[in-house]
Amino acid sequence: MKVFWFFFGSLFFLTFLSYLFIDPNFFPLKNLYSGIAFQNRGLVSFFYILSVSSLFLSYLQVIRINVKKKLNSAQVVGLISVSSVILFFSYPAMLSYDIFNYLTTAKVFFHYFENPYLVMPIEFIGDPNLLFTHAANKFSLYGPSWVIITGIPYLLAFKNILLSVVSFKILNLIFFWSTLYLLFKISKNIQTVLLFGLNPLVLIETLLGSHNDIVMMFFALMAVYLLTSGKKVISFISLVLSIFVKYATAFLFPVFAYYFFKKGKIKPEKIYFYSSCFMLLIFFLSFLREEIYPWYAIWFLVFVFLTKSKFLQGLSIVLSFFLMLRYVPYMYLGTHFGVTPFIKISLTFIPLAIFVVAFRFIKHRLNFQNSE
């Protein structure tokens, strides 16, 4: 199908684009540094908007095709697999430098044997990672589950920086596919897998940006799934593991408390709905800590497609697209100050407000037509 190739083409173009963003200080890829992204901000921003827009358009088209004539599971798996492979080869620090922070924090713990909650990377004077690590002056921002998990990719890379980046990407790939498997196991519906697994925000932030949110959400989804299956102890362990990746899933405690309050007499779908709502709430509250980062959307996207709420699903897709555009102001202007924050806020909340009004209007019209 043409739309598949269009989707792959857009991903391929984005992967190519990512290499224009190579940090001159990232010495393993120094030879590939061109500086194009920093010297031609307008052009690069345009191409970024173009590729993200085409990705979302083709994503919606694929979803529409699936609704109409149902894609088989092999087609869906193939579609997401090819997308994963393309993005696996992307340069990870195009939109954020978090992967370097993960890598360097892992080094503090597994190489220097220091506590990353007490010793900052910047304290290791002369360490080559300091050249490209952007949050070197911070203690570990992530929980102990994450620090321990990062030991696997870090140690498997045998202290080679490029191999470390690759192994961190493999780690994310494993958790991404595990999440997809879990989504299918829960929903028994390929559409759910497609809605989440092919969402460009999920793909880009997990496989290009290599954010650890997918790891946190895998354990959270596992916890909720086990809870609805009556396996309370393992469910609680999974929730704790999730919380100690990045803390945000602590917001699922009320859902667990409600489940126990109702003595388990509650439909799983409702649990997923409440989980979506609480993760949406913490997503919108995240500005209190720093700002709303696009990859935080993974927190609620994992649950949203397990609900039957068309409102939440529509809102999630609209939000996904405009969150990806939040990168544009910095990409174009090269500063986090001035009008950049204002444009970012506008890009998030104006489309959201328009969607809410439009959704209510359409719903009202449909109700009116039905009553006639």
- Residues contributing to the site for another protein (CB under 8 A): 112-115, 118-119, 123-126
| 351: nearest Cα among 328, 317, 327 | 317
- Strands (E) in 233-316, as ranges, are none
Least Cβ distance, residue 144 to another protein (angstroms):
11
Signed CA dihedral, 260, 261, 263, 269: sign only: negative
Least Cβ distance, residue 213 to another protein (angstroms):
27
- Return d(Cα 168, Cα 100) in angstroms, integer: 10
Cα distances (angstroms) measured from residue 155 to each of 134, 166, 209, 264 = 22, 12, 21, 42
Least Cβ distance, residue 118 to another protein (angstroms):
5
Least Cβ distance, residue 114 to another protein (angstroms):
3
Least Cβ distance, residue 126 to another protein (angstroms):
5
Which residue lies nearer to another protein by CB, 161 or 214?
Answer: 161
* Non-local CB neighbours of 86 within 8 Å, separated by 6+ positions: 8, 11, 12, 15
- Return d(Cα 72, Cα 211) in angstroms, integer: 30
Which residue lies nearer to another protein by CB, 143 or 294?
Answer: 143
Residue 41 Cα to chain centre, angstroms:
25
CB of 268 closer than 8 Å to CB of 259:
no
The terminus-to-terminus CA distance of the chain in angstroms comes to 40
Which residue lies nearer to another protein by CB, 124 or 274?
Answer: 124
Which residue lies nearer to another protein by CB, 124 or 322?
Answer: 124
Least Cβ distance, residue 24 to another protein (angstroms):
24
Least Cβ distance, residue 233 to another protein (angstroms):
27
- Return d(Cα 92, Cα 9) in angstroms, integer: 19
Which residue lies nearer to another protein by CB, 113 or 368?
Answer: 113
Least Cβ distance, residue 240 to another protein (angstroms):
19
Cα distances (angstroms) measured from residue 175 to each of 85, 168, 207 = 15, 11, 10
| 333: nearest Cα among 323, 322, 343, 324 | 343
Which residue lies nearer to another protein by CB, 118 or 257?
Answer: 118
* DSSP conformational letter for 209: S
Which residue lies nearer to another protein by CB, 131 or 362?
Answer: 131
Which residue lies nearer to another protein by CB, 21 or 109?
Answer: 109
Which residue lies nearer to another protein by CB, 8 or 139?
Answer: 139
* Non-local CB neighbours of 48 within 8 Å, separated by 6+ positions: 14, 17, 327, 328, 331
Report the phi/psi class of residue 44: left, alpha or beta, with left for phi > 0 and alpha for psi in -120 to 50. Answer: alpha
Q: 149: which 2 tokens?
A: 């998990």
Least Cβ distance, residue 106 to another protein (angstroms):
14
